[in-house]
Amino acid sequence: MPCPRPLAVAVLLAASSLASPPARADGPGLSTVSERSGFTRTGRYDEVGALCEAFVKAYPKAVRCLSFGTTPEGQPMRMLVASTSGALTADQARRRGLPVVLAQGGIHAGEIDGKDAGFLLLRELLEGKAAPGALDKLVWVFVPVFNVDGHERFGAWNRPNQRGPEEMGWRTTAQNLNLNRDYVKADAPEMQAMLRLVGEWDPLVYVDLHATNGAQFEHDISIQVEPIHAGDEALRTVGRDLRDGVIADLAQGGALPLPFYPSFVKYDDPSSGFEDGVPPPRFSHGYFQLRNRIAMLVETHSWKTYPVRVGLTRDTLVSVLRRTAEHGAQWLQAAQAADARAGELAGREVPQAWAASARARTIDFRGYAYTRTPSEVSGALMTRYDENVPQIWKVPLRDDLRPSVQVAAPRAGYVVPSAHAAWVGEKLRLHGVQFRRIAAQPDAAVQAFRADGADFAARSVEGRQRIDARGQWRAETRDIAEGSLFVPIAQPRARLAMALLEPAAPDSLLAWGGFNNAFESKEYMEDYVAEQVAREMLADPAVKAEFERRLREDKEFAGSAEARLRFFHQRHPSWDERYRLYPVMRVDVAPR
């Protein structure tokens, strides 16, 4: 397999100081393998531990090196805490009202720009060469590699559509889980460790550092932030100010940043243009807006060379830290005000998913000349780019985003029955969602969700079988057992509680298969018994009339022996009234 043809790096470096790799360090010290190689290589994970300790030794009053978890393969998950304010613990940061910025590299360990850019920037910050004074006004928590086990699955072709470094890690964990699909369901031990870290430090800004896949074009980085379209309305202004400010800083240095993910609407067809969106909370920047915090997804363009990508990532972090140091105190107040407002969502319509409307606008996009011709290999229509010929593409962008799923928040909250309290309670605890155990409540007035239809996914996703359960909440009277959980809606994590517990939410515990047993029929009636039951029931004129109407009007029903017998079984006392009943309930009055 031939190596990809390199970009004209010299031209890019001359045009943009942001894309320029900093000067190489003379010795190992606080520099990385990547820096010493001229950003052609990246180091193995043992380098992270060595640098973590080296920074503490060089700057003992400004840096802490901590382990916040252990991977399935037994590797320590390292983090560095940096601040020149004297606040190097979460409690100290809270007491002093300092904003916390958490920057995470290597969630997809082949996309490792963030690790090398972060270590480089940390040294420059501490030397006063970048964003001077920023560390006096904030705390920077830096996780160089989130997916540690994947990082050590090292190989030269782990990212065949990426230019450098020479070798890199793997996309998924040792358990083959994609961590950037795991923020809500939190199956991976690594994600559980990250959520505990987030719960302890409560970062105001969370920066997730990636390198994108995709087509070939001139744009070199995309910056996406939420809340901007979704989440607390007042906090969206803060998210927009941060995104627009970072994009302006990058553009001023000669970069070509984008405010949306540059993935074509129609795969491999540039003329189809782009569609913006609000990611579901399985993704980092869809998750943190539910906590009333700000998340930024940074995607350098994989077809730019590694020196260029590391330089862009480094300068994105400079901009984030500088702007947070300048505005973070006000942003923190805005986030805390959003926490208070989240407690007032009871009864209000709350979006659970978003989609772009049909309205589109034409944009000028910096691409390359291309052709689309049939491939003699695959037989499919394929796009071929000519990187020697820049070209402005006039393409549609659909960025008018509107709620596609909305649900009224419960008046008081949710009740999780005691049979599911252990595992659901652990998920709620990981996410910082408040709940309490309650006493038995016989004949309680609740809202129950019964699915009118439920379709199991044909194949597993992230080791789970997802389910699409369709129905609505209806008033019922049900017994609530001792030890059930009450999850109040009046709390700062109200939106997150809804994302976890509402059946219609795209990443709810139900949607990810956590309650699949409730949608499986376990008791049955033998056909010969059902035949006899049917004949007895047909003596009732109302049942007979309804059966005959279904035969006339529903051809699928009429042609299915199973459906016809089920018609009678569902009307028999032996029918399981809990079939397709979602175990979680909603209540209008808080239980004892």
d(CA 543, CA 318): 72
At 28, the pLDDT band (50, 70, 90 cuts) reads: low
Asked if residue 25 is part of any domain, the answer here is: yes
Peptide bond into 227 cis (omega under 30): yes
Count of structural domains, the chain:
4
Q: Is 10 helix (H, G, I), strand (E, B) or coil?
A: helix
CA torsion 143-146-148-151 (nearest 10°) is: -100
Q: Are 438 and 551 within one domain?
A: no
Q: Are 510 and 536 within one domain?
A: no
Give tens-digit pLDDT for 239-297.
999 999 999 999 999 999 999 999 999 999 999 999 999 999 999 999 999 999 999 99
Q: Are 207 and 216 a contacting pair, CB within 8 Å?
A: no
Nearest Cα neighbor of 308 from 103, 47, 6, 33 is 6
Q: Are 112 and 171 within one domain?
A: yes
Asked if residue 350 is part of any domain, the answer here is: no
d(CA 249, CA 537): 75
Q: Are 390 and 434 within one domain?
A: no
Q: Are 553 and 485 within one domain?
A: no
Q: Are 544 and 489 within one domain?
A: no
Asked if residue 41 is part of any domain, the answer here is: yes
Can you give the CATH number for the domain in which 153 is found? Answer: 3.40.630.10
Asked if residue 353 is part of any domain, the answer here is: no
pTM of the shown model: 0.92
Question: What does 521-551 look like in DSSP terms, one character per residue?
Answer: ------HHHHHHHHHHHTTSHHHHHHHHHHH
Q: Are 172 and 147 a contacting pair, CB within 8 Å?
A: yes
Asked if residue 444 is part of any domain, the answer here is: yes
Phi/psi region, residue 29 (left: phi>0; alpha: psi -120 to 50; beta: rest), is left
Give tens-digit pLDDT for 489-508.
999 999 999 999 999 999 99
Residue 12: the pLDDT is: 31
Give tens-digit pLDDT for 402-423.
999 999 999 999 999 999 999 9
Residue 206 has pLDDT above 70, yes or no: yes
Give tens-digit pLDDT for 538-578.
999 999 999 999 999 999 999 999 999 989 988 988 888 89
Q: Are 64 and 124 within one domain?
A: yes
Residue 70: the pLDDT is: 98
Nearest Cα neighbor of 339 from 432, 463, 459 is 432
Task: Please state which of the ranges 103-107, 162-166, 340-344, 572-576 shows the lowest mean pLDDT.
Answer: 572-576
Asked if residue 345 is part of any domain, the answer here is: no
Q: Are 110 and 53 within one domain?
A: yes
Q: Are 549 and 426 within one domain?
A: no
Sign of CA dihedral 483, 487, 488, 492: positive
Burial class of residue 536 (count of CB atoms within 10 Å of its CB; 0-12, 13-18, 19+): exposed
Q: Are 467 and 454 a contacting pair, CB within 8 Å?
A: yes
Q: Are 124 and 22 within one domain?
A: yes
Question: What does 277-332 look like in DSSP terms, one character per residue?
Answer: ----TTSHHHHGGGGT-EEEEEEEETTS-HHHHHHHHHHHHHHHHHHHHHHHHHHH
∠ CA 544-548-552, nearest 5°, is 170
Share of the chain above pLDDT 70, in %: 95
Q: Are 320 and 104 a contacting pair, CB within 8 Å?
A: no
Q: Are 238 and 365 within one domain?
A: no
What is the span of the domain harbouring residue 409? 404-521+579-587
Nearest Cα neighbor of 233 from 139, 141, 344 is 344
Residue 198 has pLDDT above 70, yes or no: yes
